[in-house]
Structure 1
């Protein structure tokens, strides 16, 4: 469960094949396979 300002924001599910995001107000999930996640993070992610 992911919280923002103390309220539930959504759920992040991590598996061997993909990462899935389910917003707290929705029933559906958005799935991103690791093969697409890696370039997305390299392009859009912020180094920390």
Structure 2
């Protein structure tokens, strides 16, 4: 499995709106892999070379993780 590099841009204000989320930039070597935004409304994943984010509310994320089979 390739090693991923993850960097984060944390602002000093509370998460009050979806636009003010914490942004995690994920790279695969020197290539961009995607971007994860964590905000008050949930999480958004934006794969490389895509315009739209995939959004999950906190409730949807909770259900998805609970339903994910454990190994």
- TM-score between the two structures when normalised by the length of structure 2: 0.57
Structure 1 segments unaligned to the other structure (5+ residues): none
Instruction: Find the structure with the greater CA-based Rg.
Output: 2
Per residue, is there more helix in 1 or in 2? 1
Structure 2 segments unaligned to the other structure (5+ residues): 1-24
Paired residues, what number? 46
**Pairwise CA RMSD:** 1.7
Which of structure 1's runs of 4+ aligned residues deviate more than 4 A? none
- TM-score between the two structures when normalised by the length of structure 1: 0.79
